[in-house]
Amino acid sequence: MTPPAPGPGAAPDPGADSGADPGSSADPASAPTPAPTSGPTPTRTPPLARPAGLPPALAGLRRTAVMGICNVTPDSFSDGGQHAKPADAIVHGLGMAQAGADIIDVGGESTRPGAGRVSLEEELARVLPVVRALAGEGVAVSIDTMRAEVARQAVEAGAVIVNDVSGGRADQAMYGEVARSGAVYILMHWRGHSDTMDSLDRYQDVVGEVRSELAAALAAAQEGGIAADRIVLDPGLGFAKAGQSNWPLLSHLDALATLGQPILVGASRKRFLAPALADLPSDGAAAGPAYQLEDMATAAITSLAALGGAWAVRVHDVAPSAVAVRVAGSWTGGL
């Protein structure tokens, strides 16, 4: 999934019709000069893999999808408390859909580093009104949860995707519930809960180990009854990857794609972005919206991930990524 390299246009087909009348006596010197055939050949982006079972509007996309993040929580790492009330979250979700989000990912439990769990009852009270309202407006909704019971009730309320950051490891009933529902399942690389995950950032070969662990989780999900064509893989940026472990995964999405599944990239506002931006003046960013530089970096990653064939990107600030995936789609369509 490496981005396409720049290069000249493709060489002309020698068997193509030149447009000249074979019986004419036109001066050969006046014929168009053939395009040069030397130089690097453009690298085509890999075909965009998509899961089965999506609503028609999503299934018909010929570009990377944008998933907008709707946290109905008081303590999420970047926007906790902004949309903690369901009514506010519904307005936010509809606004993101208007701004270009193809999917709205609704979550009621923070997974920021160090976060503790919330009760099942609290999680349900947070997310179900939002899922029901957004789905009722025709929005494609994903439920961000590690609990099978939340997944069950959210799908019944209209969610079409289950986004499980634990990859099925937090709740043994998850695979069976997703299989029964027929929902698309996003399986993320995960080594432990938020209160311990930073201590699990230990890799000799982060790309190889994440790929291997995702392969094992993929096999387990299929053994649990989930159809392979409904599974999306997520490398889990920021989860048991506190800093530099994230960049090799982004630059080697092609290695993860060899597992044969669509890929979701969730880099939005993650803390590993900050060191890459450290030489930029901070006073300008401080004068603008919170996370201004991180949102710019996220849009850059969206472009590269889209060029690399990612099925979807999960973001907080929708509009820049909605632009980026469309530009990337046009770029790759011209190769």
Cα–Cα distance, 81 to 73 (Å, whole number)? 6
Q: Is 28 helix (H, G, I), strand (E, B) or coil?
A: helix
Q: What angle do CA 183, 184, 186 make, to 5 degrees?
A: 130
Cβ(197)–Cβ(118) below 8 Å? no
- Closest by alpha carbon to 220, among 209, 228, 211? 228
Catalytic residues: 270, 314
| CA pair distance 326, 2, nearest whole angstrom | 18
- Report the candidate in 259, 269, 304 with the shortest Cα–Cα distance to residue 289: 269
User: Which burial class, exposed, middle or buried, applies to 138 when counting CB atoms under 10 A from its CB (0-12, 13-18, 19+)?
Assistant: exposed
CA distances from 302 to 21, 73, 99, 120, 128 (A): 48, 25, 16, 33, 29
Query: In the numeric block, which tokens belong to residue 58?
Result: 């999503």
Q: Residue 121: which H helix or E strand, with range?
A: helix 120-136
Contact 166, 146 (CB under 8 A): yes
User: Max CA-CA distance within the chain?
Assistant: 85
